[in-house]
């Protein structure tokens, strides 16, 4: 996707996040970053400042979806692995107000996790909402990432790499390679609702 805006990628404390979201992300990052040198390296590869990363690592504030994608891409791990609290078994019910909800810097794009992350499955399932007129840009994800999106309501344009953008109507599905820059643009005057499935090659092997 096109380059990310240079705005501070840290959401305000009142951002829509699960109560322990900050702690979950901080704990996951702590396992992936064993020392100060690793933090410096991540700052270099993700484009986020050491101060910003430190605030995320300490659990001080909730990172936005943009910041999390930068971190996941830089570390070469699935996005879901950064927000997974623990491995769950049996039948799981996720209430609408309990799923992990992440927002863009301006709050006009949200992503709610609908499937607990499982490192063996490497598939993620999200509910996306996009405000009228908003365009959400995304950097290229890890090599081999595939996105499958079905539009539930609204009118949406999706573009990926050099392929011609596709305009979706409710019920339409689009599948594309997510390892190139891509975008979602709400073409209507009402909020877009869409479901997104992301699948990866085995990043953890």
What confidence tens digit (pLDDT) does each residue in 162-202 have? Answer: 999 999 999 999 999 999 999 999 999 999 999 999 998 75
The neighbour count for residue 56, using CB atoms within 10 Å, is: 22
pTM of the model: 0.72
Q: How high does pLDDT run on average in the chain?
A: 82
CA nearest to 173, candidates 189, 161, 190, 156: 156
Maximum pairwise Cα distance, the chain: 48
CATH no. for 21-82: 1.10.260.40
Q: Where in the sequence of the chain do the CATH 2.60.120.10 domains occur? A: 101-199
Q: Where in the sequence of the chain do the CATH 1.10.260.40 domains occur? A: 21-82
Answer yes or no: is pLDDT of 113 > 60: yes
The domain 101-199 having CATH identifier 3.30.360.10: the answer here is no
- Are 123 and 199 in contact by the 8 Å Cβ rule? The answer is yes
């Amino acid at each position: 996707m096109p380059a990310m805006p240079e705005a501070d990628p840290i959401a305000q404390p009142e951002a829509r996040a699960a109560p322990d979201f900050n702690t979950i992300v901080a704990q996951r990052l702590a396992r992936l970053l064993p020392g100060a040198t690793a933090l410096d390296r991540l700052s270099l590869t993700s484009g986020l400042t050491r101060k910003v990363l430190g605030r995320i690592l300490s659990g001080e504030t909730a990172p936005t979806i943009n910041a999390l994608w930068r971190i996941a891409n830089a570390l070469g791990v699935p996005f879901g692995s950064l927000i997974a609290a623990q491995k769950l078994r049996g039948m799981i019910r996720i209430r609408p107000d309990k799923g992990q909800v992440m927002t863009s810097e301006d709050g006009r794009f949200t992503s709610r996790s609908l499937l607990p992350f499982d490192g063996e499955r490497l598939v993620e399932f999200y509910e996306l909402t996009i405000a009228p007129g908003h365009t959400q840009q995304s950097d290229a994800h890890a090599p081999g990432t595939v996105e499958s999106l079905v539009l539930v309501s609204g009118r949406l344009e999706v573009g990926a790499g050099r392929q011609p953008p596709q305009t979706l109507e409710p019920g339409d599905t689009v599948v594309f390679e997510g390892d190139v820059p891509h975008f979602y643009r709400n073409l209507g005057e009402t909020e877009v609702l869409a479901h997104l499935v992301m699948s990866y090659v085995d990043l953890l092997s």
